[in-house]
Structure 1
Amino acid sequence: MRFLAEQHRYLSIRRRLGADLSTDERILRRFTAFADKDGAEYVDTRLIMRWLESLPAASAGTRGARFRVARQFALWLHGMDPRHEVPPQGLVPAHVQRVHPHIYSDAEILAIVEQARTLPSVYGMRGLTCSTLFGLIAVTGLRINEALRLDQSDLDIETGVLRVRFGKLGKERMLPLDLTVVQQLERYGRERDRLLGRRSEAMFITCRGHRLGDCGARYNFALVCQQIGLRPRQDYQRHGRGPRIHDLRHSFAVRTMLNWYRSGQDVGREMIKLTTWLGHESPANTYWYLEAVPELLELASTRITSAAEGSNEGD
């Protein structure tokens, strides 16, 4: 279990430096488990490539991310012992292409939340937590890890403001919630603490009282989608392919923009609000939805054409 111990040390150091390791940790756990099972004494290029080949087929972006995580770990190990080998950078190219989002209909979102309530567990905590989590992401557009890292104290019930402390790149933001959302979170909190038998600091928890993790949230979401027909059913607890939990965030952004276009609002002026709400670095990241969703692109094109025609008439 040599590499497992080194993994814990490596991740601990990076956490203290403020890194967000939610994805990297999941990838690195798989690599160190493979290395220990393989009986390897040192990390080298051949070990990393054998590990990559042992994994299920994935996109170039995913393969590139796996390679990057393993290479960074090898680089750290090499700094302590030069017998570890660092693979050449770019050995596994990562042609990252943004996944075309699935935009959920209102009926699909309702079905996801309702089905999540039926997830079995001893005290009913699993269904309670997952249905509330999926519903919150759908109505706020939070990233999954932003939602999972929420504490009860991040919700100000009096003002209806949710504090997102762990946004991308460490940025914090405040989200004013609709009263119905606040009331739902308040009810969830009371029932969660009643089932747990004590007050929990974390907002979203498991039946054992631990903070719900990224893997657990994604697995339960995939299972719910399989049960309602949005993903094909799988054996051996596999997730399968299909709409993702992150697509709830995409759906929130797209519905917001569609409502602006349909109601005749100035989308350019409103866009900065959505950029801030979503925690994007710049409006360019938010405008990507115009290209990703045909209806939005058509509405934007129509708006631009109408504005141009109006300008020509004025000339």
Structure 2
Amino acid sequence: MKPFTSCFAEHLAGYIKLKRGLGLRFDTQADTLWSFDKYVHEHGCNGLLTQELALDFASSNPNVTLKSVVRRYNDVRNFADYLATYEPRTPRLDPKVLRCPRTRPPAYIYTQEEIDRLVREARNVSLKNPMRGITLRAMVGLAASTGMRVSEVVRLDKSDVNLDTGMVSIRQTKFYKDRLVPVHVTTLDELRNYASARDAFFVGCDCPAFFITMWRTRFSKHTLSLAFINHAKQMGVKTTSGCNPRFHDLRHTFAVTRMVEWYKSGEDLNNLLPSLATYMGHVHYSDTAYYISATAELLGLAAERYHNWLRAWEVHDET
């Protein structure tokens, strides 16, 4: 982290140190607060941290979304609460001055044929450099077969993937939890093939990441997401909403496919949802249950089961 230079420098550094001392990563918030410090310094602000100052900073970048403006404001607002402990004249910033509607981006559920093509043709994304295709194929295949988040895929280290047992260790994920993810034997074969090709291609590379870019570095979420979008477009994959196909939609597809199979086989979804939630790293079962409404097929199967139960209950009641 670069040094702070504004009139709030000492307290900004102390605030970030406190948050990280409590076990939080606090990386995104720290970046925002560094930008805030730079903004305050460049504009020659030497007074109190007012709501006007926080709003001016939050909206100073015309290229960010409303969601980003709200996040930037709230990061500064939370710091202001901390600052008030040392500077009692600091006013309390209004938590409701900016509102952002909470909407989930529409999930696109890939068909099995699309998944097969995306995995199969990933190997051919670069005829000039086959290693790029081998890497993308392994990453897409792993996400499609396990429902892992894009951040979890890129953060895997070599030590996290047991190529003997097929067990993948996911550490300090979205909600700062660890979990073990067993992979299917076909996925394990792909991971072994990739690891063998990687070690032969990147001889002497000391990067600990399991998946390595052509620059011998760890992938970022942005790099992988963009590579997948370009690949999906080349394959002619088009979402119903008109948005770009997303790497994260592989996760949606995994969850929906699993629940469809359970419904069709007559399994009790209420008993199995906790297992799926644990496997996918969800904190709340409601996050997993969201997928029930993700497709017409799954919603139809749920409705059909309900009507069958209702008819059976009515027959029982008549007797």
TM range (shorter): 0.7 to 0.9
- 1:184 matched to 2:190? The reply is yes
**For this pair of structures, how many residues does the alignment match?**
303
The RMSD of aligned alpha carbons is 3.7
- 1:39 matched to 2:39? The reply is no
Tell me the equivalent position of 2:313: 311
Post-superposition CA distance 1:73-93 (Å, at most 9, x none): 676788888999985322221
TM-aligned CA distance change 1:128 to 1:299, over 3 Å = same
Q: Contact 1:65 / 1:94 at 8 angstroms: preserved in 2? A: no
Q: How does 1:45-84 map to 2 (within 5 A)?
A: 45-52=54-61, 54-56=62-64, 58=65, 61=67, 63-69=69-75, 71-72=77-78
Gaps of 5+ in 1: 233-239
Tell me the equivalent position of 1:251: 253
Distance 1:19 1:241 in 2: 33
Identity %: 29
Q: Contact 1:125 / 1:206 at 8 angstroms: preserved in 2? A: no
Post-superposition CA distance 1:226-277 (Å, at most 9, x none): 3333469xxxxxxx94232211101100000011111222222222211111
Tell me the equivalent position of 1:279: 281
TM-aligned CA distance change 1:197 to 1:98, over 3 Å = same
Post-superposition CA distance 1:188-223 (Å, at most 9, x none): 111112211135421122112211112212222222
Distance 2:41 2:233 in 1: 34
Q: Contact 1:22 / 1:214 at 8 angstroms: preserved in 2? A: no
TM-aligned CA distance change 1:108 to 1:68, over 3 Å = farther
Q: Contact 2:58 / 2:70 at 8 angstroms: preserved in 1? A: no
Distance 2:285 2:5 in 1: 41
TM-aligned CA distance change 1:4 to 1:128, over 3 Å = farther
Q: For structure 1, which segment, 130-139 or 195-204, has the greater mean C-alpha deviation from structure 2 after superposition?
A: 195-204
2:293 corresponds to which of 283, 291, 294: 291
3-state DSSP of counterpart to 2:168: strand
Distance 1:212 1:72 in 2: 31
Gaps of 5+ in 2: none
| Structure 1 residue 118, shift from structure 2 partner | 3.8
1:19 corresponds to which of 2, 24, 27: 24
* One-letter identity of the residue aligned with 1:186: R
1:224 corresponds to which of 215, 224, 231: 231
TM-aligned CA distance change 1:85 to 1:45, over 3 Å = farther
- 1:109 matched to 2:118? The reply is no
Distance 1:86 1:117 in 2: 55
TM-score by length of 2: 0.78
Q: For structure 1, which segment, 221-230 or 147-156, has the greater mean C-alpha deviation from structure 2 after superposition?
A: 221-230
* One-letter identity of the residue aligned with 2:155: R
Q: Contact 2:211 / 2:219 at 8 angstroms: preserved in 1? A: yes
Tell me the equivalent position of 2:216: 209
3-state DSSP of counterpart to 1:162: strand
Q: Contact 2:36 / 2:57 at 8 angstroms: preserved in 1? A: no
TM-aligned CA distance change 1:8 to 1:99, over 3 Å = farther
Distance 1:74 1:221 in 2: 40
Q: For structure 1, which segment, 129-138 or 36-45, has the greater mean C-alpha deviation from structure 2 after superposition?
A: 36-45
1:301 corresponds to which of 271, 288, 303: 303
* One-letter identity of the residue aligned with 2:179: R
TM-aligned CA distance change 1:113 to 1:275, over 3 Å = same
Q: Which has the larger radius of gyration?
A: 2
- 1:174 matched to 2:180? The reply is yes
Distance 1:113 1:22 in 2: 33
3-state DSSP of counterpart to 1:51: coil
Q: Contact 1:291 / 1:297 at 8 angstroms: preserved in 2? A: yes
* One-letter identity of the residue aligned with 2:57: I
Tell me the equivalent position of 2:154: 148
TM-aligned CA distance change 1:163 to 1:8, over 3 Å = farther
Q: Contact 2:256 / 2:294 at 8 angstroms: preserved in 1? A: no
